[in-house]
Structure 1
């Protein structure tokens, strides 16, 4: 009997976890956040409801983690932005990718759902800032800081405000659906923000 392999509970657990995250993403995209329930996620993932509650305290927390897993794309090296030495080109690359992400239905539905939850749940908002927004903002500021050191941005430019100048208009246009999210729009935001931040 020594040669019989026992099932690995850690691997089974990880399979279940991935199935739950995928089920949450699919359901949010298919029926909208309001109609998704923990029961429906459990049924789609082929697990018991208690399995979900063992790992997550609410539907919002599951949706958040499903989005986080999608954003991470399976790599854990942390977030870095391109640094070719040309801040304009690098920001346009990043902003175009952000616009494309916000326009992609696979991302769009979970992002909208997550925003609804964050508005109503301060604990989830804090988790969002700590696990997703905070690290991404720090990576963006690191790239802006290197542009400052290279003399491409004003040495006294407020980097937190610079990020808001870049991203808030995009976010508002997406949130309120006031216009298309295009590469040209992304480029225009970069041009305008850089005009304000150049030495």
Structure 2
């Protein structure tokens, strides 16, 4: 935990590019070899910090206000703001790189963001209250939203004010004016 906390402090102070294993070891009061015993790279270490809630204290899951669309739009907007903040792009790129280079890190990120993820849990609640149809492809909807985040992270594409809402509409399908519930497919 001392290593994770030291990593989070240094990341917040210096950013990803200036983060070194030597600096983390010094800050944590351990040898560099101790860090490498548990983490293969600084990307893996930063990923663990995120998964432990040390880098984004407000959390990585969307809020649950009872309206799935509002919650997802707000969540995506926060991520896009993070991507435009100091250190945000490096954090996101480090997570992508760590997941790509390590099966273990990729698996843990997949568990957090994948089939048992907070998004699928949130979608399940939306199905239960009738905001999404029971046959909605929940896993694929989550993957589509996360794919948009990854795309914008890698391409550094700017996000205009409405992009989060448009992405949520594409992932969830159109909202019907009469009841606010999605029915059918995207061709409606």
TM-score category (smaller protein): 0.7 to 0.9
Question: Would you say the 8 A contact 1:24–1:66 is kept in 2?
Answer: no
Q: How many angstroms apart in 2 are the aligned matches of 1:185 and 1:42?
A: 40
CA-CA distance at 1:45 after TM superposition: 4.8
- Is structure 2 residue 123 aligned with structure 1 residue 144? yes
Question: Would you say the 8 A contact 2:80–2:159 is kept in 1?
Answer: yes
* SS class of match (1:29): coil
Higher helix share: 1
Where structure 2 has 5 or more consecutive residues not aligned to the other structure, the ranges are 176-181, 184-188
Where structure 1 has 5 or more consecutive residues not aligned to the other structure, the ranges are 1-13
Q: How many angstroms apart in 1 are the aligned matches of 2:168 and 2:10?
A: 36
CA-CA distance at 1:190 after TM superposition: 1.4
Match of 2:178 in 1: none
Q: How does 1:10-29 map to 2 (within 5 A)?
A: 15=2, 17-23=4-10, 26=13, 28-29=15-16
Q: TM-score, normalised by structure 2?
A: 0.72
Q: TM-score, normalised by structure 1?
A: 0.69
Paired positions, count: 175
Computing the radius of gyration over CA atoms, which structure comes out larger, 1 or 2? Answer: 1
Instruction: For CA contacts below 8 A with separation 6 or more, give which structure has more relative contact order.
Output: 1
| Closer, same or farther: CA 196–104 of 1 in aligned 2, 3 Å | same
| Closer, same or farther: CA 25–190 of 1 in aligned 2, 3 Å | same
Match of 2:171 in 1: 193
